[in-house]
Amino acid sequence: MNKQSLITLAATSLLVTSGLAHADTTDHQGLYVGAGYGLLKVDGNEDFDEEDDAVNAYAGVQFNQILSAEAGYIDFGSYGNDVFSSAVDGYTLALKAGIPVHDKVTLYARGGQLWWESDLSATDDNQDLDGEDFFYGVGASFALSNSWDVRLEYTRYDLEFERDEIGILAEVDDFDTEVDHAGIALQYTF
């Protein structure tokens, strides 16, 4: 090995181990709360497409640097058209797995269960529905300080309205709606 290769190897080893030592001093455990705002893109059968916005709040526990569990509430607001509209909100329970890519940046994936309620309106008929469906998403968390983070995330909610639930639309077999949520949230860790 020549002298330059040895110096490069030593410098690289020093940088890597100092980065790992710094990462080990960061506390990645504890309770956190957050609230966010985002935009929705709703896709369903026919022309049930419209952009809307949503608000959410959540609380979670970070078990270690990688894994956390989260419970939350999301209000999707109202969306639809003159013939058919829906107002949906619900509660979530999810697991979140993250990988720190920098001292202040973590990339994560999140997935879990959504328990939702909907007020469905079609012409002159209204109906209250509820259901439970899976959701999943990805995001990035940016540390502003030891306690404050900003999260940017993209989440897909797959809502399924069954024929027996949507009697007001008896000619429709099933009505599956994909709700995409792109949002920003502010999080505080205790």
Sign of CA dihedral 120, 50, 179, 92: negative
CATH code, 29-189: 2.40.160.20
CB neighbours (10 Å) of residue 28? 17
Q: How far apart are CA 57 and CA 173, in angstroms?
A: 34
Q: Which amino acid is at 15?
A: L
What tens digit of pLDDT does each residue of 92-148 get?
999 999 999 998 999 999 999 999 998 877 767 777 888 899 999 999 999 999 999
pLDDT reading at 39 higher than 50: yes
The separation between CA 9 and the C-alpha centre of its own chain, rounded to angstroms, equals 41
pLDDT band at 4 (very low <50, low <70, confident <90, very high): low
Q: How far apart are CA 81 and CA 84, in angstroms?
A: 5
Please name the residues in contact with 142: beta carbons below 8 A apart, sequence gap of 6 or more: 104, 105, 149, 150, 151, 152
Output the pLDDT for position 141: 96
The separation between CA 70 and the C-alpha centre of its own chain, rounded to angstroms, equals 10
Mean pLDDT, residues 145-160: 92
Q: In the chain, which residue ranges form alpha helices assigned H by DSSP?
A: 3-25
Q: Which amino acid is at 48?
A: F
Q: How far apart are CA 106 and CA 142, in angstroms?
A: 7
Mean pLDDT, residues 154-174: 66
Which single residue is written with the structure tokens 């607001």? Answer: 77
